[in-house]
Chains A and B, each alone.
Chain A
Amino acid sequence: MEIYILLGFVLILSIYLGLELISKVPSTLHTPLMSGANAISGIALVGALTLTQDTFLQTVIAFLAITFASINVFGGYLVTNRMLSMFKKK
């Protein structure tokens, strides 16, 4: 149970940190921020990699989790970069 308390600390502090970091973002960057944050939520890939694959069902589930998280990660970062490369001041 103690481990959950520690993890809970990390969770709460990270949320507060996130709220502080992002509270003053100009509206120009709302879409790239959303898309870039979306790519970060592909961190689920790291979790998907650690799943046990003892049974056939588990293997299928792990494969699907890895595939979909990878789409999220690669697609998310690439499209954010594409978008941001268009934002220019002339």
Chain B
Amino acid sequence: MENFDITLLQNIAYIFAAILFITGIKMLGKEATAQKGNVISAVGMFIAIVVTAINIVNPFVVLGGILLGAFIGSVIAVKVKMTSIPEMVALFNGFGGLATFFIAWSEMSNTNDNLFQYLLVILTIYIGGVTFSGSLIAFGKLSERLKIGKGHMVTNSFISIFYLSLVSILAMLVLPMIGSLPLNFETIFYVYLALVMLGGVGFVLPIGGGDMPVVISLLNSLSGIAAAFAGLILVNNVLIVAGSLVGASGLILTIIMAKAMNRTIGNILFVGYAASATSSSSQQGEVKPINAEDAFLILENASSVLIVPGYGMAVAQAQHVVRELGELLEENGTDVKYGIHPVAGRMPGHMNVLLAEANVSYDLLAEPDDVNPMMDTVDVAIVIGANDVVNPSATEEPGSPIYGMPILEVANARTVFVLKRSMSSGFAGVQNPLFFKENTRMLFGDAKESISGLVSEFKD
């Protein structure tokens, strides 16, 4: 009877936790309520954990694990620099996936003759394991520790293992129907675990840095789905509800990112830009460089300026000087807006986070649909380390690999300043005709130094 009461209490608490998660995630979707939403969802998590911990088996293992995890997680969360957020989200995401991988592994011994339970365990191991190792690779790529990419020999071997791991799911599913196995089941199971882990590496390794916003959203979605599947295995509703919410939100972000690149998810994951690149017109011309002094003279007389940041701003950590420049322009009577492309940077909303860190008010940030119609009223568009998201080929050249991708049409502004380190092309490997346009001026050098140069011109 005592046991029954605890289970009942837990289930009632789980309902409350589920309500808090749903409310929390809804509030996360609006600027005014987002922070409160996150707290509400954290309260839901707290309730769910506490009521589950009432009847734990081994307090030392449980408390030890929670304390250790809480310590590591908190230290990372407090210390991480805002420019490193993409790789950190990938890392946390991978740890969630790893936890479900372990849950499913542990539940393997409880499947007995229940075929459906066995199927769930095999699938959850796969999703959780691929989420973990895939996220680790994404972490490596985002933090630029891992330089191996598409076409490398190592990558190709891992891609083969990825396909092998997909086949191995099927093999595992038919396994129980085979009477006598050549190896004992335990050995086969461990081989499967290893294949899953290596398969996740092969899944993410060939995907380029520019496609990371899609990959990171997809892995986010997968970690939620893995948790929901773990809920099916453990017959636990709160895992199913919370996991599904995460799975759905990750899926939506994945679709938004893919749309912003005008590509299908399949093309991003399995083909990549290089293969879809058919023609790249070698449109060349004269590039017109400009120095900070001349750029300042133009900016000083501008009545409206659009700042378009890209990954280059993140690399140069230039967000603070960019904000400073924006404020100086405003003091000078210039109307300043920031044009943010959804896939600028390495994760969804990357630029927004950096500018928020630098204290740029979020109502100054505008999306392509809002700024494009008024582009011809913009005196100066300042492109800071962005490339493909402002490439006019997307609207002008039907043969271009990025044709059809929604861009920020800065070429229609009266003058365009492009801040760039060199003339190399962007993540798509496509030449950018914007650099050769009549109204474009190139300000070569490190983005942070170039902007600082403009700022000091203003102060003089």
Known: A33-B253, A51-B103. A77 touches B340 (CB 8 A): no
The answer to whether A66 and B65 have CB atoms under 8 Å apart is: yes
The answer to whether B232 and A40 have CB atoms under 8 Å apart is: no
| Interface SS majority for chain B | helix
Known: A19-B251, A47-B230, A75-B92. A67 touches B21 (CB 8 A): no
A77 to B350, CA, bound (A): 18
The answer to whether A38 and B362 have CB atoms under 8 Å apart is: no
The answer to whether A27 and B252 have CB atoms under 8 Å apart is: no
* Residue among A3, A52, A71, A88 making CB contact with B69, cutoff 8 Å: A71
Chain A residue contacts of B363, Cβ below 8 A? 89
* Residue among B31, B77, B99, B357 making CB contact with A86, cutoff 8 Å: B357
The answer to whether A70 and B362 have CB atoms under 8 Å apart is: no
* B419 CB-CB contact with A under 8 Å: no
Bitwise, B36-67 to A at CB < 8 A (1) or not (0) is 01110110010011001100111001101111
The answer to whether B92 and A61 have CB atoms under 8 Å apart is: no
| Interface SS majority for chain A | helix
The answer to whether B349 and A71 have CB atoms under 8 Å apart is: no
Please tell me the size bucket of the interface on A. 35 or more
Chain B residue contacts of A15, Cβ below 8 A? 244, 247-248
- List the interface of chain B (C-beta within 8 A of A): 21-22, 24-26, 28-31, 34-35, 37-39, 41-42, 45, 48-49, 52-53, 56-58, 61-62, 64-70, 72-74, 76-78, 80, 82, 85, 88-89, 92-93, 95-96, 98-100, 102-103, 105-107, 109-110, 116, 216-217, 220, 223-224, 226-228, 230-232, 234-253, 256, 340, 342, 347-350, 352-353, 356-357, 359, 361-363, 365, 367
A–B pairs, 15, beta carbons within 8 Å = A11-B244, A14-B243, A19-B251, A25-B28, A30-B352, A35-B85, A40-B24, A40-B41, A46-B52, A47-B103, A73-B70, A74-B69, A74-B73, A78-B73, A79-B92
